[in-house]
Structure formats: C-alpha cells, structure tokens
Chain A
Amino acid sequence: MSAVPISFYLVLSAILFGLGVVAFVFKRNIITIFMSIELMLNAVNLAFVAFARARGELDGLVFVFFVIVVAAAEAAVGLAIVIMLAQNRQSLNVERVNLLKL
C-alpha cells in the first residue's frame, strides 16, 4: 500500500519535534507555548504510528489514542490556567509571570 520508507516519517517527526522545541523556547505568548507543546505531541504521535506500521503491530496506534486523550485533558486544564493567569495579570506574556523567579 505504501512504498514510503519508515525513515522518512521518522525524519519528519524529528523535524517537527525540533520546531516544536524551538517554538517552545522562543515564543513569549503563553497560548503559543501551549500550541508548541501540542506540536511536539503531534510529532511523537507520527513516530508512534510509523513504528506501529514498521512492526506490523497495533499497540502504537492504541498509544496514539491515549496520547490524544491526555492532550485533550491537558488542553482543558492548561487553558483554564491561562484564563486565570490572564485575569490576574492582565497579560499573556510569560516574562510577566515571574513570582517564583529569583
């Protein structure tokens, strides 16, 4: 069905994960930082599906399902925290959230 080598998918997964890390480090808006976490989760999901395909087993797909469920829960709680933070600080900039910073 597919003649694309698995390594292509893994390289794409690594590139997307790297871009997610770059976004996580460079962005200053807390919502965008959350989105870069989602990007990294997506990259890992792609690697899971590719490995499941390479091994001919479906356990990887079950893991992807659970990752998506946990990502949904994480987004719900995380965005609630973002709303609370925005109400308290009137800003979405993570530089302003420095209460625990030395």
Chain B
Amino acid sequence: MSIPIILFLVCALVAVAGAVVLILAREPIHSALALVVVMMALAVLYLLLGAPFIAAVQIIVYAGAIMVLFVFVIMLLNAGVEERTDFSKLAKFAGVPLGFFLLLEIAHWLAHSPIGAAIANGAGSSAGESSTTELSEMLFRQYLFPFEATSILILIAILGALVLARKEE
C-alpha cells in the first residue's frame, strides 16, 4: 500500500469514529468535539485531494467559527445530559436494518459505477499549488455575482440572528 492510501484509511477511520461518537455521546459538548474531529479529518482528506484552499477554509470557518458558535451556545444554555426517549419497536427492528441496507446499497453502487472507476491520478491537471490561483480566478470572474450575493446572505443572517435573539420588551 502506498502512503496516500494509508493516510486516506487513517483519516477515514478517524472521521467515521468521530461521527459514531457524535451519535453515541450523551452530552452535547462531547458531540461538538467529535464533530470537530470529523472536520479535521476531512480537512486532511481535502489536502490529499489537492484542494489546499478548501482545507484551510474547512479548518478556519467550519472547525473554527461555526463550531465555536455551537460550543458557545451549548455553554450559554448549560446543556446537560440529553434525555432519552423510547423508540418504537418498528423503528428499532425495521428502521435500523433498512438504514444499513440503504448505506450498503449506496456504497455498492458508488464502488461499481463508472465514476468510481476513475482514478484521481491522471484525470485532472489541477495539481497542488496552482489550484488556489485558478479557484480565485474562477470565484472572482465566472462566479462573481453569486460571490457578492453571499455577502448579502451573511448580512441578512446577522440581522435575523439579532432579531431572533433580542430580548422582548
């Protein structure tokens, strides 16, 4: 096995383990930290895929800003141990196996589709350092209008958050 495959398998295992911990953890803060682990593993995978800019954005915006917001709200609301409720028998005995079956089916389809057969190696010319330059050119030429529209979206989100979280007089 080559080094990229070993690196991929390690990161994939870490990501899946983090997602499982997110489900099993009873305290929201543990779930939040598990999600940070998943995002870090995914950032390494983005580097492996030759997208350093996306990896940096993933760490700065996702693992940094968004997760800090989550942790802040968890601390603010003093969220303790989650209450568990009983699930229906139907969900336990039909839903869980069917969910796993769906997952297996998706994985099987992906592994045997023509797209899955494409090897990352020879397909594209976008390698390493130049991809950030090309990405910025694309973002500020071809996708300039959507890029500017996101600034309005963020502004509206800030206003919405302010209005929602404001104390009623």
Contact = CB atoms under 8 A, between A and B. Distances in A.
Interface string B39-71: 100100110111101100110011001100110
Interface of A: 1-12, 14-16, 18-23, 25-29, 31-32, 34-36, 38-39, 42, 45-46, 49-59, 61-62, 64-66, 68-77, 79-84, 86, 92-93, 95
Interface of B: 2, 4-5, 8, 12, 15-16, 19-20, 22-23, 28, 31-32, 35, 38-39, 42, 45-46, 48-51, 53-54, 57-58, 61-62, 65-66, 69-70, 73-74, 76-77, 79, 82-85, 87, 95, 99, 102-103, 106-107, 110-111, 113, 115-121, 123-128, 131, 134-135, 138-139, 143, 146, 150, 153-154, 156-158, 160-162, 164-165
Given A5-B120, A56-B125, 12 more contacts: A6-B118, A7-B113, A14-B106, A16-B16, A23-B22, A39-B19, A53-B51, A65-B54, A68-B62, A77-B164, A82-B77, A83-B73
